[in-house]
Amino acid sequence: MLYENYIILERKHLNMSKKTTPDGRILVVDDNKAILSALRLLLPVYFSEVTTLSSPNDLMHNIETKRPEVILLDMNFTSKVTTGNEGLFWLGEILKVYPDIPVVLFTAYSDVALAVDAIKRGAFDFIIKPFDNAKLMSTLQAALRLSRSRQEVKQLREIKNEIRGDGEMYWGESPKMKELRKIVQKVAQTDASILITGENGTGKDMLAGEIHRLSRRAGSSMVNVDVGSLPESLFESELFGHVRGAFTDAKADRAGKFEVASGGTLFLDEIGNIPLHLQAKLLTAIQTKSITRVGSNIPVPVDIRLICATNRDLSRMVAEGLFREDLYFRINTIHLTLPPLRERTEDIIPLAELFMRKYAVKYGKDIKGIKEDARTELTGRPWQGNIRELQHVVEKAVILSEKDWLGTEDFFPEKQGGPVQGDRSRTAAQVIRDSVRQGNVVTLDDMEKELIRMAMRQHDGNMSAVAQQLGITRQTLYNKIKKYGL
């Protein structure tokens, strides 16, 4: 009764001094009935579901059915036994099956060595009886926060695995993607150079990662390089490395991307944007399977599997003298083309739902699904920006919506008073003007982003033409595309 009387007074004090909203599920296992009675009074102040057991015999069954987020576990259940071995045993049993549930151990026998051992075995913390209420609740609340954090990470990991199939990319059900998958499964195990082409946003980098994952080099690293955005002055240094003193800022030896990727895969994105005079240097490294660091004369052998990607027509560039034919043949042993999203419409809704679940978890939203009207609208869109554009549209809808189900107005608010976003006849000025009329705040960044987006659509992703129209360098254009997520 001492415990219960003290808890009643303490609970009154807690209710008066601080309003709390009970939240979370806790399971308490202790053979002391007085303590269980006391905790049944105290814990509901903080926890919405409190389950108590006087014996650990039904512990695992209760965890399975009650799904507690925190467990408070006594360490001794047999009369006159004070070793704590029973608690350590059950701690181990819990963590074998439920490693993400924080377990706080509870004992009347203070032993530093035992506490250290318990923490080493995975216990979240160690509470001594008789306990201080504030200390106990602080510990349990910290355990609950950890449990929630672990659960969120687990959900995000599951969503990622669902999208990529436990590291795999999402292939979908379209005939073109099924045929592409068959080819990938055949060539991934070889060391053949692969060229991936496709429009912006189709997932060329995802496909490169999938090829690496399926290859014999999967145990080694894959190094990604956006060569199109590399300044010409740093091209050789970034790819081939440099030695100390090679140039003003070279204060130490530095390995380039080729060396870092040796033994694994080197992915060169936007290879069609490399200037002609730098293509020869890249070709030499690929042909000789060695590099020479800037400022050095010593060749360094490298062993890489090369995957390149571009949204440009390299064969036409070769014909126009803009891309070396010998380099084109070197990187193009196998040519894979990713279809645009508008040619795999059966995959639009599954992808949208995957992104919806991902961002609902990320932003703490309880969204159940996508309405039928929105499904029709999503499927009928041209999606000039492909999967990347779809992902951004879904993320924005999840962030702004306060509803359980997402409708057309959540994905495309402009449908309420203007032409659709994919209409190429609209200018950036018209888009911005309409946004202002709808009462939206438009920043300079918004204007710049829309100008770039429109220019990219107008020139079908030809970055040189886009940069020329906007009056900026190609490198500046790439920096802004990354900044705005275009």
pLDDT for residue 33: 87
pLDDT for residue 253: 81
Residues sharing a CB contact under 8 Å with residue 347, sequence separation 6 or more, in sequence order: 170, 172, 173, 174, 177, 341
Q: From residue 138, how far is each of 52, 119, 131 by CA, in Å?
A: 19, 18, 12
**CATH fold match for the domains 2-162 and 175-339:** yes
pLDDT for residue 111: 67
Range 342-484: architecture per CATH: Orthogonal Bundle (1.10)
In the predicted model, residues of the chain with pLDDT beneath 50 are 1-10, 12-19, 159-167, 417-425
Superfamily for the 175-339 domain:
P-loop containing nucleotide triphosphate hydrolases (3.40.50.300)
- The correct CATH number of 2-162 out of 3.30.1330.90, 3.30.450.20, 3.40.50.2300, 3.40.50.2000 is 3.40.50.2300
CB burial string 360-377: b at 16+ within 10 A, e below = bbeeebebeebbeebbeb
Instruction: Tell me the domain boundaries of the chain.
Output: 2-162, 175-339, 342-484
pLDDT for residue 1: 40
- Amino acid identity of 53? L
pLDDT for residue 6: 45
- Tally of CA atoms within 13 A in the half-sphere of 240 that contains its CB: 27
Cα distance between residue 124 and residue 102, in whole Å:
5
